[in-house]
Structure 1
Amino acid sequence: MSSIIDILIYAHDGRGLGHVSRSVAIGLAVRRLFPHLSVLLVTGCGSTAELIGDGELDWIKLPSYKTKILSGESCGDLGPSNIEDKVLGSIRAENISDLVDVYRPKVILADHTPQGKHRELLPAVEGSTYSKWVLGVRAVVGEVDKVWSELSASIFTKKYSDILWYGDSSVTGRLELDRLSSHFHKIPFETGYVSRFKELQKIVTDVCSLKKLAGVVSVPWSGDGTFALLEKVAEALGSFDISEGIWKVYMNHREPRVCDVKKFFESYPNICLEQLGPSFLTDLANSRSAVIYGGYNSLTDVMGAGVPSVVLLRGMKDGEQEEHAAALSKSLSAVVDIFPEDDVTVDGLRSSLEKCFKTNIDPFAISLDGAANAARYLAELAGVRDANG
């Protein structure tokens, strides 16, 4: 039975944008390097179109998961479809299995876990006889039980052929690589960091060079401490004279309580609120500083842009952000200060941003070619050995 598409990319969704951003970057890289290949992204993330921007990548939207954070742990909540979390997992499992049956991809790249969120990949994995399954994982996984479970290892061993590691061992060391090798009994292919910024740089070229922004703030999703944090952020940014430049605060305007948050910023003429989207990367490249959370996607954005940044940590129990940010801060001058979000003060944030203004970014030898390297690897599995194919 012949394949309809070459590569299907599955992106985990539910809370942040990191998983989908990596998947988008890899999909864009495949389309750029191998324009004759057919690629399809499957996810429930409602912000996918904004993440793709003007890029050439088609995608299918599943009903979205939604998670809330309680005491540093994720738990399911009712999403936009108003379908209970576990029921939605069963429905999506059927959707994904049907898609695999219909499109018959040569290669399937699954993000984060071999079984998918709520095991929704299992029917497709177990029923597929013609697709090569590949797992892709971030540089620092963290203590995510579903990744390190016996079920995860068992599914990988039975049905998966390869694993891509989106990291750079020259920066983080080999501990995570060795742990993955031991757990999945397969040596991962080290791609380097997957940077959506770097891929979209090849599309977005309208970076203003006349007057730099004072900085950008990215809050892609809200948690328990976000409301209190944004009040402090507004006061700290508003304390700068407008001659220092404009601050742009990027948030998901679909989030609950956004209207309540807006009032924090209304009285400050040097602050603009923006919807998350491709314009963030343009503004980041044109900024003197940034305030970001310590997720993989945000860290690769500031690495790609070379912007001095204050990194905030959410205090999740998996410890991924803390471990990753700490490892990068040893090698990258772009990470100026790191704060748990609950410890941020107005004076402390202002002081850190002033430090950013005075920081010159040293050249750093970190691989940000992960999207292109992953694209080439997947293309070869699909039967294409070079970009001229």
Structure 2
Amino acid sequence: MDSKLDVLIYAHDGRGLGHVSRSVGIGLALRRLFPGLSVLLVTGCKTTAELIGDGSLDWIKLPSYKTNVSGGKSSGVKGDSNIDDKLLGGLRARNIRDIVDTYRPKVFLADHTPQGKHKELLPSHDVSPETVRVLGIRAVVGEVGKVWSEFSADVFSSAYSNILWYGDSSVAGIGELERLSGHYGVTPHDAGYVSRLSELQFLDQNQEEREKVAGVISVPWAGEGTAVLLKKLAQTLSGIDVSYGDWKIYMNLREPGSGTVVEKFNGLGHVSFEQVGPQFLRDLRNSRSAVIYGGYNSLTDVMVCGVPSLVLLRGMKDGEQEEHAAVLARKSSAVQEVFADHSVTVGELREGLVKCLEVEVDEHSINLNGAENAARYLAALAGGSDADR
């Protein structure tokens, strides 16, 4: 095989950062454990460099998709390239095909669906037939039609041979594994939860101890109810004793209208705003509490850090976040309370945060080594070994 690359990782992109963050975590683990392997990540997510931070992972930037959410349902709109969503899918499909044809990777890891967003992976399946294609799927999929369609199953059977499942069957049970096995016709490899934070911690081992902040609040992307929620948070934090310490709110401050949001917190000297990036993970580790949205990535982060947290849900139609947060709340005391973002009250937020500030997170047995386990699995397929370390 005329391969110029060991592992190529494709990350689905659109609105949230979960898909890209998992992919970055696995890529970082590959580069750390197997420095002799060549690894590339391809995605349209424009914040990828910030997610990688100081890690040694190279990536190729595609023009990015953009997704709006209305009534819990997402739909594609023109991204920063100002190219129509569906047209962009076709153009990116040709880009990805050319990348695969040029690099001829030994292993290709696709996140979320075997066909890719807007079926953009399909043309690449016709080139580099020797490439071993692996599908990576999160712990709880939810009712995502593109994952559970007959089309996805047909695409998988024609081009893929393996599934990496980023979950822990001892936590979520075997129902999701059985469903995936029945749909795709293979037994998934149970890798464990993938945490980018776990990998970035290897880069921050010599960080000096600092005084803990009261809490961090993560709102990585704005939705329909974000402005109302932040107004409630401003009222909440104004009623919590400043003796607990400072609060940091992480948002994409480059989004239009972010300045208006910041104004809601005028007069709260113990509250500051930060751009989403690697510093969030450092502050999370040094925090007494957190407010996060219930995406896979954020839930994994607070479990790794052992930070008691309030989890907010956006009410998406696929039901993934509700199901996943409920499962983890039964297994990890890092998930203290779960609320719908549109209906949570100031009183509930204040009571929940004070509770988080005064509790300690218990030890748990959830497998959070998914990035490392996935990296070893992929390295074996690519012909790497522990001798590469």
Q: Could you state the TM-score of these two structures normalised by the residue count of structure 1? A: 0.98
Moved more, 57-66 or 337-346: 337-346
8 Å contact 2:307–2:361 — kept in the other structure?
yes
Query: Per-residue deviation at 1:384?
Result: 1.7
Q: Give 1:173's aligned amino acid.
A: G
Cα distance between partner residues in 2 of 1:182 and 1:95:
32
Q: CA deviation at 1:126?
A: 2.7
TM-score (norm 2): 0.98
Distance in 2 between residues matched to 1:3 and 1:113, nearest whole Å: 24
The 8 Å contact of residues 207 and 286 in structure 1, kept in 2 or not, is answered as no
Matched, 1:332 2:332: yes
Q: Judging changes above 3 Å, is the alpha-carbon distance between structure 1 residues 244 and 135 closer, same or farther for their aligned structure 2 residues?
A: same
CA–CA distance in 1 between the matches of 2:45 and 2:387? 29
What's 1:223 paired with? 223
- For residues 374 and 220 of structure 1, the distance between their equivalents in structure 2, rounded to whole angstroms, comes to 26
* C-alpha distance in structure 1 between counterparts of 2:205 and 2:243, whole Å: 26
Matches within 5 A, 1:256-295: 256-295=256-295
Letter in 2 for 1:151: F
Q: 1:294 and 1:210 mapped to 2: Cα distance? A: 27
Partner of residue 213, structure 1: 213
1:185 corresponds in structure 2 to: 185
C-alpha offsets along residues 251-278 of structure 1, whole Å, 9 cap, x if unaligned? 0112221111111122210101000111
2:240 counterpart SS class: coil
Shift of 1:346: 1.3
- Residue of structure 2 equivalent to 1:315: 315
After superposition, give the CA deviation of every residue in 1:349-370 in whole Å (9 maximum; x if it has no partner).
0100000012111100011110
Q: Which amino acid aligns with 2:378?
A: L
Alignment partners' CA distance in 1, 2:35 and 2:55: 12
Distance 1:233 1:89 in 2: 38
Partner deviation per Cα, 1:319-360 (whole Å, 9 max, x = no partner)? 000000000001111111000001111111010000001211
Q: Which amino acid aligns with 1:361?
A: V
Q: Does the Cα contact within 8 Å between 2:210 and 2:286 map onto a contact in 1?
A: no
Q: Which amino acid aligns with 2:95?
A: N
Where does 1:93-242 land on structure 2 (aligned, <5 Å)? 93-205=93-205, 207-242=207-242
Which one is further off, 353-362 or 40-49?
A: 353-362
Aligned residues: 389
Does the residue aligned with 1:292 lie in a helix, a strand or coil? strand
Greater CA drift, 233-242 or 189-198 = 233-242
Segments of 4+ in structure 1 off by > 4 A? Answer: none
- CA shift for structure 1 position 300: 0.4
- Bigger CA drift: 126-135 or 35-44? 126-135
User: 1:387 Cα shift?
Assistant: 4.9
- Residues 246 and 206 of structure 1, relative CA distance in 2, 3 Å threshold: farther
Same amino acid, percent of matched pairs: 63
Supply the RMSD in Å over aligned alpha carbons.
1.1
